[in-house]
Amino acid sequence: MTLPPRYAWSIPGWQPERPRNDPAVGEIWCYTDRFGYDPGDDVAVHVHTTADVYDVEVIRDGAAPQTYFRRTGLPGAAHPTPDDAYAAGCGWPVAFTVPVGTDWPSGFYLVVVGIDDEHGRRHEREHFFVVRARAGERSSAALVLTTSTMLAYNDWGGANAYRGLGDDPYADVPTPRQSALRPIARGMLRKPEGAARNRHTGVPPIGWEPRHPAYEWAYANGYSRHHADALWATYERPFVVWAERNGYRLDYLTQHDLHYRPDLLDGYESLVIVGHDEYWTAEMRDAADAFVDGGGNLARFGANYVWQVRFEDGGATQVCHKVPGADPVAASDPSRDTTAWDAPGIGRPGAATMGLTGLGGAYARYGSTTPRSSGGYTVYRPDHWAFEGTDLYYGDVFGGDACIVSFEVDGVDYTFRKGLPYPTHEDGAPENLEILAMAPAVVGEIDRWGGRVPLGAPEGEAMGLVDALYDGNPPEFRRDARYGAAMIGVFERGGTVFNAGTCEWVSGLIARDPFTERITHNVLRRLAPGSREAR
């Protein structure tokens, strides 16, 4: 049976990348032995290729990409790859090392390896590493890359935290173990400008059927179906390009740094998080909480704070079982169960750290979730400092043309009094949380098509998760809670936390939406004033 292109993303023929083990087929991939390095370190790069020779270029990416390392004519070698490389890692030997110069600036560095086939066609794949700031030369703000969310969505090798082990698309079975020692799915680090995102921007007509542009684009162009779900190319890079062009200097850290080296946060005024930061370890969260308790600020231009994960093998393996109690550690230490933060056994609701939680929002403008909503935020507290200079009034909507409220969003349980929203605090929201703006959201897609149309986020999955978290007896505020809201929230606890509550905030910066830009300036200037260089 031949399906039209709109259904192609859900058919079994669309497989994740992995080596074909055919010497007649030109292929190349690489990975580094870890994600973060200090100036003066050596980066170990592991390479598999069927070509006799290959080359490599290391580029500090951003508004003005710059090459820092280049080698040509490196000898190629093919290596066996375990069937479960997605969980166990590839085990390829080190092919070469990159010496990080003591003068290299903190940043995101692409490792691009390439070969030329017999027809002169170029084949490239990429990995990355972060260079941390030199001691004594730090900016006032550090961008924390969402490496744990990337690991969860990375389907290179055959599976990720969502699918790959079952009879896809009929039974999506995830792997609870995701290895850091493997390549990264195509599109998460590099892709063409204008690649489709996890949203739709038009107003659907009557009788419309849901589309998923990011999946359709990926299938048509040979990218991972998860290219738009996580990390640099979709989220952090557009933010960095905007920030650098506006004179901000950010240092770079990864979530792994928060986990293993929380001392690296000492001296920063603010941590900046962008895009999709769905997965955190307890140690990462401890580091962020301690930073804010100590007077540091957190500027979060992202959303979907949901899952606790655990590291094993020194950070080489990430574990997330999701189903409450499925993690082997759950019986002996329920607080470390790798399931949603809001599970009662963990005792640490997500909103307590970020002010908002993924369980209070979920989806907007993604597939059939709020498909004709404004795509922007409705303002409720226009006098807040975050809106200074925007000329926004109560009830105004901003960011709609750029569709900044789309894909996955965060909120809290709330009520209205005299026309203003207030948190109920039943879900652990901070006592002094202010809700500045809101937009409708739903927990998932309702199937109006009898299974004929593929859904990216079925409502039943979310409702089933909530039921499982509370062992079939959720509290009243979560019972049958199909509707939520995306929110901009701000609270103080030693330092200040600003939470934009949507993965697609960066779309407003890409589109140069004046309101989104001004609010972003307001947040950075207030929470990290030392990050803006003289111009």
Write down all domains in the chain, each with its CATH number in brackets: 28-133 (2.60.40.1930), 150-531 (no CATH)
Say whether pLDDT at 24 is over 90.
no
CB-based contact 524:301 (threshold 8 Å): no
pLDDT of residue 2: 32
User: What separation in angstroms does the CA of 200 have from each of 104, 367, 437?
Assistant: 39, 7, 21
Mean per-residue pLDDT, 276-296: 98
450: Cβ contacts below 8 Å, ≥ 6 apart? none
pTM score of the predicted model: 0.96
Taking alpha carbons only, the member of 232, 207, 76 closest to residue 154 is 232
Output the six-digit token pair for 465. Answer: 């998760």
Say whether pLDDT at 9 is over 70.
no
pLDDT of residue 530: 87
Q: Is 392 left (phi over 0), alpha (psi -120 to 50) or beta?
A: beta
Mean per-residue pLDDT, 34-62: 97
The DSSP output letter for 258 is H
Chain segment 330-368, per-residue pLDDT in tens: 999 999 999 999 999 999 999 999 999 999 999 999 999
User: What separation in angstroms does the CA of 425 have from each of 227, 333, 411, 430, 433?
Assistant: 35, 26, 12, 7, 9
Residue with tokens 């909480």: 289
Taking the C-alpha atoms of residue 66 and residue 57, their distance in angstroms, rounded to an integer, is 10
Taking alpha carbons only, the member of 379, 410, 369 closest to residue 516 is 379
Angle at 429 between CA 428 and CA 431, to 5 degrees: 110
Residue with tokens 């230490």: 333
pLDDT-wise least confident of 141-145, 215-219, 251-255, 388-392: 215-219
pLDDT-wise least confident of 123-137, 167-181, 372-386: 167-181
pLDDT of residue 293: 98
The DSSP output letter for 530 is G
The DSSP output letter for 362 is E
CB-based contact 397:440 (threshold 8 Å): no
For residue 21, name the pLDDT band (cuts at 50, 70, 90). Answer: confident
User: What separation in angstroms does the CA of 365 have from each of 56, 318, 420, 456?
Assistant: 39, 30, 24, 12
Say whether pLDDT at 1 is over 50.
no
What sign does the dihedral 89-173-365-467 (CA atoms) show? negative
For residue 118, name the pLDDT band (cuts at 50, 70, 90). Answer: confident
Where do the H-state alpha helices sit in 122-184?
Answer: 147-153
Say whether pLDDT at 442 is over 60.
yes
Distance of CA 203 to the CA centre of its chain: 26
The DSSP output letter for 502 is B
CB-based contact 327:337 (threshold 8 Å): yes
pLDDT of residue 468: 92
pLDDT of residue 13: 52
DSSP 3-state assignment of 317? strand
pLDDT-wise least confident of 249-263, 293-307, 401-415, 443-457: 443-457
Average of per-residue pLDDT values in the chain:
94
pLDDT of residue 531: 86
Share of the chain above pLDDT 70, in %: 96
Taking the C-alpha atoms of residue 490 and residue 399, their distance in angstroms, rounded to an integer, is 19
Mean per-residue pLDDT, 260-269: 96
Mean per-residue pLDDT, 433-440: 98
Mean per-residue pLDDT, 48-53: 96
Say whether pLDDT at 11 is over 80.
no
Residue with tokens 């972060």: 130
CB-based contact 370:440 (threshold 8 Å): yes
* Helix-helix angle 514-527:236-245, to 10 degrees: 80
